[in-house]
């Protein structure tokens, strides 16, 4: 879970996840949406992959990234256990 929170701690990585909500993209397509170097985007994608927030599928010479919703669901379930229970009236 630490890798998950570390990955989500960075605004660029959160923005990458926002972009991937629209659909799967290659690393190059993701990099084109930012004003930072492609190696830097690759580093961010690697951290998201290590945290299992994204799935990377190699297709020829390209790698396509998509959101791993299973990990998001597990994180939300974990977080919801800290929600205060409502008292019955």
Burial of 86 (0-12, 13-18, 19+ CB in 10 A): exposed
- Please, what is the average pLDDT of the chain? 92
> What's the longest Cα–Cα distance across the chain?
61
Provide the pLDDT for residue 21: 94
Taking the model in full, what pTM does it have?
Answer: 0.85
Domains of the chain: 2-80 (1.10.10.10)
Provide the pLDDT for residue 71: 87
Closest CA to 21 of 47, 45, 54, 52: 54
Of 41 and 87, the structure prediction assigns the larger pLDDT to 41
Q: How far apart are CA 35 and CA 52, in angstroms?
A: 25
Provide the pLDDT for residue 22: 94
Provide the pLDDT for residue 88: 66
């Amino acid at each position: 879970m630490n890798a998950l929170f570390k990955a989500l701690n960075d605004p660029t990585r959160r923005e990458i996840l926002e972009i991937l909500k629209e659909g799967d993209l290659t690393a190059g397509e993701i990099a084109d949406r930012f004003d930072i170097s492609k190696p830097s985007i690759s580093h961010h994608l690697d951290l998201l992959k290590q945290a299992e927030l994204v799935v990377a599928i190699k297709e020829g010479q390209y790698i396509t990234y998509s959101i791993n919703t299973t990990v998001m669901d597990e994180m939300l379930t974990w977080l919801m256990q800290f929600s205060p229970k409502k008292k019955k009236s």
